[in-house]
Amino acid sequence: MSNKTAHTLNDLIAIARDGKEFYEEAAQKVDDAELRTLFARIATTKSQLVNELSAAVQAAGGKPEDSGTFVGSMQQMYGKVRATLGDTEYGYVAELEESEDRLLEAFDEASRDADTPPAARDVVVRLLPEVRACHDVMRTRKLAMKNAK
């Protein structure tokens, strides 16, 4: 496995792990049962992404990333503050949608980057529809909540 493949996939693992942890926390903090269920479901999807990306890194002889990112930690903290100071449900949805933007952008970039090794690109392209679906769900939810205000 090239260092570039491990680096590319490990960056995606860290960002997906950020999302997983943020969704798990949000599911504990919101009162709305439908949102709790949605957040828990997407946290499970993020966990599966982390597992699949980690397996690809291991299969190629690399060591999978086992933590999130600083940006993800800051985004999660901002989401907590925002939810505490205002509409908890909308605050979490808005910040989680931002997290989805970040993951989708990273996946899109890895799939388009000419320097992404073929082994990494294959995994990224295979998982991209799932990443896009989670993003679209949260974007739609955020817009619906914003328009309902």
Tens of pLDDT, residue by residue over 17-44, are: 989 988 998 899 888 999 999 999 999 9
Distance CA 146, CA 138 (A): 12
Q: Residue 143 is part of a domain; what is its CATH number?
A: 1.20.1260.10
pLDDT score recorded for residue 1: 46
Number of folded domains in the chain?
A: 1
Q: How many CB atoms lie within 10 A of CB 3?
A: 9
Q: Tell me the C-alpha to C-alpha distance, in Å, between residue 12 and each of 56, 65, 147.
A: 12, 9, 32
**Is the distance from CB of 141 to CB of 97 less than 8 angstroms?**
yes
Per-residue pLDDT of the chain (149 residues; tens, 9 = 90+): 457 778 888 889 999 998 998 899 889 988 899 999 999 999 999 999 999 999 888 887 888 888 666 555 566 666 666 656 567 788 889 889 999 999 999 999 999 988 888 888 899 999 999 999 999 999 999 999 989 87
pLDDT score recorded for residue 57: 86
Domain that holds residue 72: 3-148
Query: What is the chain's mean pLDDT, rounded?
Result: 86
Distance CA 81, CA 56 (A): 36
| Cα dihedral 131, 137, 141, 144 sign | positive
Provide the terminal-to-terminal Cα distance of the chain, rounded to the nearest Å: 50
Enter the pTM of the model: 0.86
* Identity of residue 61: G
Cα 30 from chain centre: 19
